[in-house]
A and B are shown apart, each in its own frame.
Chain A
Amino acid sequence: MAKARLSPVRTIAAHAVLITYTIIALFPVFVIVVNSFKSRRAIFAEPLALPWPEHFDLVGYQTVLRQGDFFLYFQNSMIVTVVSLFFVLLFGAMAAFALSEYRFRGNTLMGLYLALGIMIPIRLGTVAILQIMVEGGLVNTLTALILVYTAQGLPLAVFILSEFMRTVSDDLKNAGRIDGLSEYRIFFTLVLPLVRPAMATVAVFTMIPIWNDLWFPLILAPSEATKTITLGSQVFIGQFVTNWNAVLAALSLAILPVLVLYLVFSRQLIRGITAGAVK
């Protein structure tokens, strides 16, 4: 594609920029993972050194795994993230379909109202949310977190998906209507598969803030049974002493599940692009 216009100099320059950016982006992750395999002394002495045999130490991982509840924290994070993600994608896509497909009074206003959530951080409402959760008896439940994260993820999902759904051929939807498909079948079997790349994008953007969040787990569900992995890692960070081995090991482990989820979605993304659409 346009090979004639690519001079070697430009190619090298482009790659240099991209590689620099990649290094900058991956450096913190690299430091965390590398140091999680080192002894405490080695972390402070040579933070950038690789875990050669003389520094190599699994004490961080041993501490984390000995903590016992860590698998529970993982499980909590996983449940909260996956369930919230499911609801965000389901409700987001449904709202987006309604906004893009049906003409009704206040359509544009409704779209703006939903998009407003992108600009106003949900944390501003923390006190009110806490009050609601207390009233509803949902404090220290995963449900509380799932509800909050679903609300948090919806605005962006609706915004992105409604733009994408406008691009799905009207003819296809109309063909479905003439063939007697219900609006639900049109939505689930015709439209959703065609916006799968957008769904994957939304999934990635929604998933990461949820997985990384410390704020709401701390406020709404700090009990031992409902701690998420980010909150769980905080036990190693004390006011005076921080167990860096354990913190780094916990963080390294916390990367893995998101990485798996990300790989799943990015595969969907590619499959969505290559699938044969209309025309």
Chain B
Amino acid sequence: MGSLDLKSVTKSFGPVDVIKGVDLQVAEGEFCVFVGPSGCGKSTLLRIIAGLEDATAGDILLDGRRMNDVAPAKRELAMVFQSYALYPHLSVRDNMGLALKQAGVSRAEITAATDRAAEMLSLGALMDRRPAELSGGQRQRVAIGRAIVRRPKLFLFDEPLSNLDAALRVATRIEIARLHRELGATMIYVTHDQVEAMTLADKIVVLRDGRVEQVGSPMELYNNPANTFVAGFIGSPQMNFLVAEAVGFPGQTVGVRPEHLALHPIGTKSDGWIEGQVSHVEKLGGETLVYVHTIPHGLLTVRLFGEQDQAVGEPVGLTFDRLKALIFDADGMRLG
């Protein structure tokens, strides 16, 4: 249980088409991440799956059953929101138990379910507090607990980590991954953060302007992007795009990951050599990012392992791994 099928789903707000025909299959137990720049329609798509918005056309199937006309509460799914959306007037326990109470579950069963969720998320000590008395991270865990309690077929996460600080974000990310393993439930997760997408997903769906650009596992998208948009969106720092003609490649642009570029001191000239000038250096401890200004490729990013000293303004030469370069045509589509 818990497989999801979207069949040419579209959504328009008046004359504006927000979702322009999305077909998607999410298998049972899969962790599927919708990723894309803001305004790409990923949150709208999630809300359509949840039933909070009606699809203009197309079908939403959950376990093969058409859900278009089923109320959100009857779809057997749970949602975690960016702003936590806890009920301010209820205690943590009541927040988590409300859905079961609405469904007419007995009090004893509700207590058992909330206790179990509290244990999974170590919320035991907070059960009688109000949301206003909790920190941001605690609130988000309560929101996740509220979703778990319902034992839904499908978990929906709408940018759940965006309001947390960096350390909590990593901790909560790991927590969500652990929950996915333990519960084995199907999860759909919306984010604009590609690191979250890469680390959590079994399957990433890259969206742009209401269309699916590519679907695949994180490494598939990283190593084998279908077009320049996906190539540029997945991976941080961004992929470098070189002018194909200038480096003797067919097509329009050549994509090279920052770790596939090598930096050489000037004077050791070799084939496929790109000359440039170091314009900025970022030392991250474990790695060093060197930004090199080149003509005609513009600013290129080089990722070096470990701590490297590189003076700004110094002329350098760049070479790249030609086997790992990706070739794109004038429309940005992948060649070969």
| A169 cross-chain contacts in B, Cβ below 8 A | 83, 85
| B83 cross-chain contacts in A, Cβ below 8 A | 169, 171-172, 278-279
| A278 cross-chain contacts in B, Cβ below 8 A | 83-86, 88
B131 near A175 with CB under 8 A, answer no
Which of B44-94 touch A at CB < 8 Å?
47, 50-52, 71-74, 77-79, 81-89
Of residues A169, A175, A278, which shows the largest number of chain B Cβ atoms within 10 Å of its Cβ? Answer: A175
Chain B residues with a Cβ closer than 8 Å to the other chain, count: 33
| A194 cross-chain contacts in B, Cβ below 8 A | 88
Instruction: Identify which of B72, B133, B146, B163 contacts A177 (C-beta below 8 A).
Output: B72
A189 near B79 with CB under 8 A, answer no
A276 near B132 with CB under 8 A, answer yes
Least CB distance, B240 to chain A, in whole angstroms: 38
- With A169-B85, A190-B87 already in contact, the answer to whether A178 and B132 are too (CB < 8 A) is no
A189 near B89 with CB under 8 A, answer yes
- With A174-B79, A177-B52, A178-B50 already in contact, the answer to whether A277 and B88 are too (CB < 8 A) is yes
Least CB distance, B30 to chain A, in whole angstroms: 21
Which of B97-136 touch A at CB < 8 Å?
98-99, 102-103, 130-133, 136
- With A278-B83, A279-B163 already in contact, the answer to whether A178 and B77 are too (CB < 8 A) is yes
| A179 cross-chain contacts in B, Cβ below 8 A | 73, 98-99, 102, 146
Instruction: Identify which of A180, A190, A193, A276 contacts B102 (C-beta below 8 A).
Output: A180
A178 near B88 with CB under 8 A, answer no
B85 near A172 with CB under 8 A, answer yes
| A171 cross-chain contacts in B, Cβ below 8 A | 81-85, 158
B88 near A175 with CB under 8 A, answer no
The residue on B at minimum CB distance from A103 is B13
- Say if the beta carbon of A65 comes within 8 Å of chain B: no
| A176 cross-chain contacts in B, Cβ below 8 A | 87
| B81 cross-chain contacts in A, Cβ below 8 A | 171, 174-175
A178 near B133 with CB under 8 A, answer no
Q: How far is the CA of A178 from the CA of B46 in the complex (A)?
A: 13
- Say if the beta carbon of A19 comes within 8 Å of chain B: no
B99 near A193 with CB under 8 A, answer no
- Say if the beta carbon of A181 comes within 8 Å of chain B: yes
Q: How far is the CA of A177 from the CA of B133 in the complex (A)?
A: 24
- With A171-B81, A276-B130, A276-B132 already in contact, the answer to whether A178 and B87 are too (CB < 8 A) is no
Q: How far is the CA of A178 from the CA of B73 in the complex (A)?
A: 4
| A172 cross-chain contacts in B, Cβ below 8 A | 83, 85, 87
- Say if the beta carbon of A275 comes within 8 Å of chain B: yes
B79 near A276 with CB under 8 A, answer no
- With A276-B130, A276-B132 already in contact, the answer to whether A180 and B85 are too (CB < 8 A) is no
Instruction: Identify which of A175, A180, A181, A275 contacts B79 (C-beta below 8 A).
Output: A175
Least CB distance, B99 to chain A, in whole angstroms: 4
Contact with B along A86-102 (1 / 0, CB 8 A): 00000000000000000
The residue on A at minimum CB distance from B156 is A178
B130 near A180 with CB under 8 A, answer no
Which of A162-198 touch B at CB < 8 Å?
169, 171-172, 174-181, 189-190, 193-194
Known: A169-B83, A171-B158. 16 other contacts (CB 8 A): A172-B83, A172-B87, A174-B81, A175-B79, A175-B87, A177-B72, A178-B50, A178-B52, A178-B79, A180-B73, A181-B98, A181-B102, A275-B132, A276-B133, A278-B83, A278-B88
Pairs A-B, 8 closest by C-beta atoms: A276-B132, A180-B73, A180-B102, A171-B85, A171-B81, A179-B99, A175-B85, A172-B85
